[in-house]
Structure 1
Amino acid sequence: MIASIFALGTVALLVMVERTVGQYAVEVGRDSVMTEVSALLDEDRLAGRARTIESVVRRENAVREHQLRFLLVDGRGRYLAGSLPAGIAHVGWRTITMRNRDADDDDGATTMTLDTFGARMSDGAVVVVGSDTSDIEELRQNLGMTAAGFGMLIVLLSLSGGLLVGTTFLRRLDRVNKSVSRIMQGSLAERLPQIGMSPEFDRLSVNLNLMLGRIEALMEGVKQVSTDIAHDLRTPLTRLRQQLEDIRDSAPTPEMIEQAERALIQIDRILSIFRALLRIGSLEAGAGRKRFAPIDFSDMVERVFRAYQPVAEDRGYSLSATIEPGIVGYGDAEMLAQAVTNLIENALFHTPAGTGVVVGVEQRGDGEIMMFVSDNGPGIPAGEVRNVVKRFYRLDTSRGSEGAGLGLSLAAAIADAHGGKLVLEDNDPGLRVEMRLINPRLAAGRGPEES
């Protein structure tokens, strides 16, 4: 756009120059005509008619290539001198076209156009001087062609320069976007390349890289803390569980055995929560993408469905499947199976017995793969849809049931790790939870390194 504006401005300048020069040439020609007329009037007044006739003849023959033409007629309109026909005698300015008697000297032009001015003498005689405008018209044509030619050249150069600069900038910006994509996929050691188009962009790249370095250091710190927690807490909890098992196995009374069993259940719940938190943190840090590979979504969902169908029937639920065959994509099969499992368990835990639950997968346009679990239970209030995917958040109706409120959070983290999102919708009645894997690379069966 900037190149086009510059080109249009330059063309406008050339057109203005062409018109200005052409107008100047016309004014110069008219000044020459006026000068000749004034000189002849003065000569007639001071030297007489005979000297004026001689002067007209002399001037006619002296002017190079007959650019000036003359006419002198008496008060009755009778021809006295000059090369112009007596019939054109007039007073004031007039443009006339006449046959060219010197066509061989004027590049073969058979007609000529003259810009003429006539003045009346004291005795009624008229003197007319005409200027041949063919040179001015030729000048104007040359200027016009030159302006058009240079205008087209400038437009071409401007657009070519704009295209070159724009293409170079976009190519360098594409490298930045690819680096950003790798960073979003978890490669925090990646740094943005400098665009190099101006110091401002380079300073921006430097500042962003400093920010990325700071984020990487913070993430490493969080990762180290998580590792330390895993080492310092999980090991004592595991030992505590072993001790409780020993107590249960050696307890002398049924009451002590029952208390040990309840303690073991609580320990297992704490360990399960701990593993889920570490898993969510690992996914949000992008670590899960390292295990991506081509997978058969249809087969994966089918296996999860087969595993949970008898469990659902034993609990009094109706679990069915709507699986589109042959859906192949890219991702972590274990994580995705865990997400579908969480969604099924979430439906079984938070709906009453007799509820119908449907699990499925389908291919949508633009490479989108959509896995879903729906039920016809009580559903979720519209105001709570955003909250239920938060960690540890539970509805009031679910406070007394098992779980820690991490199932949907883990499913949302898995969906995000696969370039998608978790969507909760009203199933009218009930709830429909969809994992929309919207990244086209997934449906194409290609990994991040192949794109």
Structure 2
Amino acid sequence: MFAVSAALLLFVVERSISQYATVATDGGLKSEAAILQAEDREGGRAGLLRAIALHRRAGGEEAYRYQVIDIGGKLLVDDLGTRSTGLGWGHVTLRDDPQEPSAHLETLKTLGVALPQGGTLVVATDTYDIEELRASLDQFTIAAGLTITLFALIGGYLIGGLFMRRLDRVNAAIARVMAGDVAERLPRIGISREFDALSINLNAMLDRIGTLINGLRQVTTDIAHDLRTPLTRLRQQLEAALEAGSPAHYETSIEHAITQTDEILGIFRALLRIGTLEGGDGRQYFASVDLSELLNQIVAALQPVAEDEGKLLIAQHAPDLLVEGDQGLLAQMMTNLIDNAIRHTPAGSRIRSEIGLIEGSVVVTIGDDGPGIPAEERANVLTRFYRLDRSRNLPGSGLGMSMAAAIASLHHVRLELLDNAPGLLVRLTFPALAIGSPPEQVGNR
């Protein structure tokens, strides 16, 4: 397309220059004929002939050629050697040297006009320069068009080859991903920002897929490891029931087996729920939630539980703070975090639930003054089935914190585990939203 466009441009330039040269020649003939007509009108035939002689001397090699025919058909001036075509535009062909048969033929363009004193005036000029110019322009147009086409093809080949080589690297990376190398990432093509943006987006997609695959592998390993104990316990109880023989023992063993089965089913339900949340399912049900009121209800429900265990649950909630989310999931996340603080702190501990506004974002903090979590362990407790050594003798499956992390991720909430000095501080920072009346702010902790 570039070559064709350039060739069309050259063609237009060539036509324009040729047309300009032709118009200039025609204008010169008209001007010369008009001057001589004026001489004939004012000075008569003698004045016309004097003017023609003067113009011949002044013109030199570039002089016009003339032919004057009186009213009776007599040739008074004849530079053409042949009768012209008469009035109007015409052409005559002459030899440079009439005495030499092999002399060069030249074409003259003629303009015949009527003289005021009667007769005909023919003014002629050769078109050699115009033809030479047109021929040179044609040759230049062809040569330049071919050169531009050649360079366009070479440039297209080089650019296309560069693009294809880089695309081959991308295809090779895709082939490695398809072969199972989920850590492979696509290189940038580097031709334009659009292609680089495509590579970045595809790599982000591969990162997400890699995270999901690693999570699936981890879940498989965790299920095999953590469900082995309740399944083994269930089998032992069933074996004991077979060996017992009394109906009462059968009934007791069956009840224990049902309890163990319910525990296993609960673990599976939690795993399925976490997987669904990590897949991003549920955002279509989001609505505006009064998080302050939701936390008030959760704290009111859990305060008796904390008191039964000899602990104090304190709430400091700024009113009317709204967030966007699923109310049921947010309630489960807050319940898991507060319940976790109650279960993993010794008697006499204080658990504090706070909500407020910090720099335009709703922030929830749940802190306790218990033993806390070592800094190197904080990332691990957000994964499935992970439990600290001191918590392994307590009931639970190790899915509460991972469930909270999955819900926080679905809501684009930043979940941080911090040192409360002493104890653990869980901070939840919600995305900034339009909120109600400005509440008092929660201090940074």
* Pairwise CA distance, 1:182: 1.1
1:196 paired residue number:
190
- Residue 213 of structure 1 aligns to which amino acid in structure 2? D
* Matches for 1:110-149 after TM superposition, within 5 Å: 110-149=104-143
> After the TM superposition, which of the residue ranges 213-222 and 94-103 deviates more from structure 2?
94-103
Inter-partner Cα distance in structure 2 for 1:194 and 1:200 = 10
1:117-162 Cα distance to aligned partner (Å, 9 max, x none): 1112133221110121111111111011111111111111222222
2:65 paired residue number:
69
Q: CA separation of 1:44/1:89 partners in 2, compared to 1, >3 Å: closer, same or farther?
A: farther
1:12-49 Cα distance to aligned partner (Å, 9 max, x none): 12112211211111111011011111111101111222
> SS where residue 188 of structure 2 aligns?
coil
Inter-partner Cα distance in structure 2 for 1:55 and 1:168 = 72
* Matches for 1:11-410 after TM superposition, within 5 Å: 11-66=7-62, 68-85=64-81, 87-88=83-84, 90-101=86-97, 110-234=104-228
Inter-partner Cα distance in structure 1 for 2:155 and 2:99 = 48
Q: Note the residue ranges of structure 2 that are not aligned, 5 or more in a row.
A: 246-445
Inter-partner Cα distance in structure 2 for 1:160 and 1:242 = 79
* Pairwise CA distance, 1:245: 9.4
Inter-partner Cα distance in structure 2 for 1:112 and 1:67 = 15
1:167-204 Cα distance to aligned partner (Å, 9 max, x none): 21121111111111111222111111111111122122
CA contact (8 A) 2:91 2:107 kept: yes
Inter-partner Cα distance in structure 2 for 1:245 and 1:43 = 139
CA contact (8 A) 2:37 2:116 kept: no
Inter-partner Cα distance in structure 1 for 2:77 and 2:240 = 142
Inter-partner Cα distance in structure 1 for 2:60 and 2:21 = 17
> SS where residue 116 of structure 2 aligns?
coil
1:276 paired residue number:
none
> SS where residue 90 of structure 1 aligns?
coil
> SS where residue 220 of structure 1 aligns?
helix
> SS where residue 31 of structure 1 aligns?
helix
TM-score, normalization by structure 1: 0.50
2:357 paired residue number:
none
Q: CA separation of 1:236/1:102 partners in 2, compared to 1, >3 Å: closer, same or farther?
A: farther
Q: Note the residue ranges of structure 1 that are not aligned, 5 or more in a row.
A: 253-451
- Structure 1 stretches of 4+ with a deviation exceeding 4 A read 234-248
Inter-partner Cα distance in structure 1 for 2:225 and 2:162 = 51
Q: CA separation of 1:103/1:11 partners in 2, compared to 1, >3 Å: closer, same or farther?
A: farther
CA contact (8 A) 1:99 1:112 kept: yes
Aligned residues: 253
